[in-house]
């Protein structure tokens, strides 16, 4: 009887302490849902003295960031209250002093900021010294692999050694440094033994050459357990009808296929058919370019890509099926800038003439170096240069049309002069004026005047659409028509 009473009293006391801790979180403005999640993952707070430890810690962090942000940070880093704000600031400032984007590290691996600054410094130094990373390279590395700083130097060094062993590269070689920088973002999340074991399994089972280990590290196949790899490979082979050699060939080139659920790949396969391709075409396209299986074909970007190629470039689905690489690149950063550079420099008569120009391969399967060699310094317009500035300007224009003006690809195809219109000088200010008139006059539709927006001179546009929202006879005439 005495033992039961003791146990009952203990449970009651424990419940009382839990209630008191939850109440303290509530006073700090943290929701019951967030509190439950935090305490479930980090029960240490239940053992803290409320008066001398928990409340001062909460107040200290509330002064630093406010209730809403504190709640968000505690969900990411459960042990945040165990650290003082000034300690986290020391880590932040030290990383910044090294040229590292500390804000990005904090977003990608917030736990790093709660580590002792000496521990972070030691891991940083081991990373840089073991691989001879330059200051610029170590910053690039940590912007992608921020989580490396969350571990001790021994584990980080063992990860580097595992990669060095698998690739047969000295850790201080430039090739090795580029592999580490380019590796999948989960590289340092895996234990070194698991990393080595899974990449070795993949290469022994499907690799067609020693180079495949590097591809496996880049695409992150090591995040998938070995039995799951084997099961997914068998289902993929059955779905696409590949023999063993074809399976090895395709997985060697694109190991990422084993990172996706078979149901996801099957869904993407069906969605390609839903886009209008036949089953035979989809099989051929995915065999030629397995990466297509990893694409969500109902996403806005995928739909935009198919519409751009068909509506603006005039390709049929049959044309695309034999050139699946067209679907592997972005519209705004790759296909569009190349087509419009060729168009503006006279290499093609119009974007829709790509199929008859004999130059389509320069859009679908051509390196930038080869493209520059073929189309640099055009005789028709020697001042035009296909460089990052040209690509950025075209991307910004496309994104303004599709995201800000919310025009469909079909509408842009009908008003292609918009893609030749300067964004800061004409497109943005003119659209702003048309939109303001539309807001004031219900009968006025800004999108009905896209031709005027793109083609009228500044003088004619000013005469047609007055900045005060009143319209002259041209608008009235258009309205009457």
Task: Write the pLDDT tens digit of every residue in 225-256.
Answer: 999 999 999 999 998 999 999 999 999 999 99
- 148-197 residue pLDDT tens: 999 999 999 999 999 999 999 999 999 999 999 999 999 999 999 999 99
Q: What is the pLDDT of residue 90?
A: 92
- The two most distant CA atoms of the chain are separated, in Å, by 101
Cβ–Cβ under 8 Å, residues 320 and 283:
no
Q: pLDDT class for 269, splitting at 50, 70, 90?
A: very high
| Average predicted confidence (pLDDT) for the chain | 88
Give the lowest-confidence range in 93-107, 244-258, 290-304, 357-371. Answer: 357-371
Cβ–Cβ under 8 Å, residues 223 and 187:
no
DSSP 193: H
Q: What is the pLDDT of residue 3?
A: 47
Cβ–Cβ under 8 Å, residues 123 and 154:
no
CA dist 328 and 366 (Å) reads: 12
CA dist 275 and 408 (Å) reads: 17
- 379-420 residue pLDDT tens: 666 678 888 899 999 999 999 999 999 999 999 999 999 999
Q: pLDDT class for 378, splitting at 50, 70, 90?
A: low
CA dist 192 and 165 (Å) reads: 11
Q: What is the pLDDT of residue 381?
A: 65
Name, in order, each residue with C-beta under 8 angstroms of 468's C-beta and a sequence gap of 6 or more.
Answer: none
Residue 450 token pair = 């896209």
Superfamily of the domain at 84-189: Transcription termination factor 3, mitochondrial (1.25.70.10)
Q: Return the SS3 of 465.
A: strand
Q: How far is CA 128 from CA 25, 43, 123, 161, in A?
A: 41, 36, 9, 14
Q: What is the pTM of this model?
A: 0.75
CA dist 340 and 338 (Å) reads: 6
Is the pLDDT confidence value at 328 over 60? yes
Q: Where are the beta strands (DSSP E) in 329-469?
A: none
Backbone dihedral angles phi then psi of residue 465, each to the nearest 5 degrees: -130, 110
Domain map (residue ranges) of the chain: 16-82, 84-189, 299-412, 421-480
Cα 219 to chain centroid, rounded: 14
CA angle 478, 422, 374 (to 5 degrees): 125
- 15-60 residue pLDDT tens: 678 888 889 889 888 888 888 888 888 888 888 888 888 888 888 8
């Amino acid at each position: 009887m005495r033992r039961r009473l003791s146990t009952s009293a203990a449970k009651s006391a424990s419940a009382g302490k839990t209630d008191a801790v939850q109440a303290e979180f509530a006073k700090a403005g943290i929701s019951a849902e967030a509190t439950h999640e935090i305490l479930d993952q980090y029960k240490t707070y239940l053992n803290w003295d409320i008066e001398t430890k928990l409340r001062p810690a909460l107040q200290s962090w509330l002064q630093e960031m406010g209730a809403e942000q504190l709640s968000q940070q505690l969900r990411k880093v459960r042990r945040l209250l165990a650290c003082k704000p000034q300690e986290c600031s020391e880590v932040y400032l030290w990383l910044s002093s090294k040229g590292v984007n500390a804000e990005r590290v904090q977003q990608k691996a917030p736990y790093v900021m709660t580590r002792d600054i000496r521990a972070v410094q030691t891991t940083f130094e081991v990373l840089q010294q073991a691989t001879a990373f330059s200051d610029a390279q170590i910053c690039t590395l940590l912007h992608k692999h921020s989580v490396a700083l969350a571990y001790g130097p021994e584990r980080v060094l063992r990860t580097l050694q595992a990669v060095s062993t698998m690739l047969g590269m000295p850790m201080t070689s430039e090739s090795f440094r580029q592999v580490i920088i380019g590796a999948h973002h989960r590289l340092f999340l895996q234990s070194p033994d698991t990393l080595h074991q899974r990449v070795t399994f993949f290469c022994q089972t499907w690799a067609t050459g020693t180079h495949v280990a590097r591809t496996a590290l880049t695409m992150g196949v090591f995040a998938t357990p070995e039995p799951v790899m084997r099961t997914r490979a068998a289902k993929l082979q059955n779905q696409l009808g590949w023999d063993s050699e074809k399976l090895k060939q395709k997985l060697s080139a694109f190991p990422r296929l084993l990172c996706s659920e078979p149901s996801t790949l099957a869904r993407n396969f069906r969605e390609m058919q839903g886009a209008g391709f036949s089953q035979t075409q989809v099989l051929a396209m995915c065999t030629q370019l397995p990466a297509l299986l990893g694409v969500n074909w109902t996403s806005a970007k995928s739909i935009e890509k198919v519409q751009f190629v068909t509506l603006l470039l005039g390709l049929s689905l049959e044309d695309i099926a034999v050139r699946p690489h067209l679907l592997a690149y972005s519209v705004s950063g790759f296909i569009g800038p190349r087509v419009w550079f060729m168009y503006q420099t006279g290499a093609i008569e119009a974007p829709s003439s790509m199929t008859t120009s004999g130059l389509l391969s320069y859009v679908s399967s051509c390196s930038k170096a080869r493209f520059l060699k073929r189309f640099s310094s055009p005789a028709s317009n020697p001042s035009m240069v296909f460089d990052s500035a040209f690509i950025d300007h075209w991307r910004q224009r496309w994104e303004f049309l599709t995201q800000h003006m919310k025009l469909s690809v079909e509408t842009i195809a009908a008003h292609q002069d918009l893609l030749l219109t300067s964004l800061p000088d004409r497109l943005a200010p003119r659209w702003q004026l048309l939109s303001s008139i539309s807001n004031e006059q219900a009968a006025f539709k800004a999108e009905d005047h896209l031709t005027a927006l793109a083609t009228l001179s500044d003088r004619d546009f000013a005469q047609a659409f007055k900045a005060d929202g009143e319209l002259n006879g041209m608008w009235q005439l258009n309205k009457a028509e």
